[in-house]
């Protein structure tokens, strides 16, 4: 028995000393889309992506807040701005925890590029050379465009025609196929998880 315990302890020491770490997995509400109401005099809603697990965490949301701003990490109160929370949503095809990790990483990357907010188009792109638009190719984006870009970049369809649904595909036709979208319409193409504050 003592020999077994010794071998087990030595294995654990060896395991931790070699830098092996457990795979990070999204938890809580990370990677899901969140919405609040009362945008454009109540015409539509506002969207963001949960960067942290819960609303009570430090700067839990990545969003494009509005005119004069850029895509950024923000507090929960900065996301709500005193308006009503409308819900947490996910793509209709339920993403795995590892896929939600990708959403979180992309949201973080987008927040490093100072991508300007626009009210006009879900996404506007500088000339891009690859098959897919990279965050550095985006020069302005709307709040619902942040959600759509992140989900569709990883193959989770949100909105658009069968031939032009992927807004991250480097095609003007694909981008124009999303012109009828707004945050409230967008939720019709997602699955509601909860209408309760994600804590």
Tokens encoding 104: 């979180």
Mean pLDDT, the chain, rounded, equals 89
Q: What is the pLDDT of residue 26?
A: 84
Phi and psi at residue 91, in whole multiples of 5°?
-60, 155
Q: CA separation (Å) from 113 to 60, 71, 73, 106, 192?
A: 18, 8, 12, 11, 30
Tokens encoding 44: 């539509």
Phi and psi at residue 49, in whole multiples of 5°?
-120, 135
Q: How far apart are alpha carbons 39 and 17 in whole angstroms?
A: 52
With H, G, I as helix, E, B as strand and everything else as coil, classify residue 101.
helix
Domain ranges of the chain: 33-190
Q: How far apart are alpha carbons 37 and 45 in whole angstroms?
A: 4
Nearest to 33 by CA among 89, 77, 111: 89
Q: Are 44 and 184 contacting, i.e. CB atoms less than 8 angstroms apart?
A: yes
Overall average pLDDT of the 98-118 stretch: 98
Q: What is the pLDDT of residue 24?
A: 65
Sign of CA dihedral 172, 147, 107, 90: negative
With H, G, I as helix, E, B as strand and everything else as coil, classify residue 127.
coil
In this prediction, residue 119 has a pLDDT band, given cuts at 50, 70 and 90, of: very high
Q: Are 115 and 71 contacting, i.e. CB atoms less than 8 angstroms apart?
A: yes
Does the pLDDT at position 22 exceed 80? no
Overall average pLDDT of the 93-107 stretch: 98
- Encode pLDDT of 178-189 as tens digits: 888 999 999 999
Overall average pLDDT of the 162-170 stretch: 93
CATH top class, domain 33-190: alpha beta
Does the pLDDT at position 160 exceed 80? yes
């Amino acid at each position: 028995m003592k020999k077994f315990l010794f071998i087990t302890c030595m294995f654990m020491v060896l395991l931790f000393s070699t830098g092996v770490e457990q795979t990070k997995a999204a938890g809580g509400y990370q990677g899901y889309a969140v919405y609040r109401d009362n945008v454009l005099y109540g015409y539509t809603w506002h969207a963001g992506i949960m960067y942290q697990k819960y609303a009570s965490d430090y700067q839990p949301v990545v969003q494009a807040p509005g005119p004069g701003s850029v895509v950024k990490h923000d507090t929960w109160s900065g996301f709500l701005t005193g308006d009503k929370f409308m819900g947490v949503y996910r793509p209709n095809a339920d993403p795995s925890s590892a896929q939600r990790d990708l959403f979180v990483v992309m949201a973080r990357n987008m927040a490093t590029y100072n991508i300007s907010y626009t009210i006009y188009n879900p996404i506007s792109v500088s000339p891009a050379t690859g098959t897919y638009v990279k965050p550095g190719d985006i020069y302005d984006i709307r709040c619902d465009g942040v959600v759509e870009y992140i989900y569709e970049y990883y193959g989770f369809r949100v909105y658009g025609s069968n031939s032009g649904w992927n807004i991250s595909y480097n095609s003007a036709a694909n981008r124009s196929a999303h012109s009828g979208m707004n945050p409230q319409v967008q939720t019709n193409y997602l699955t509601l998880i909860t209408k309760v504050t994600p804590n």
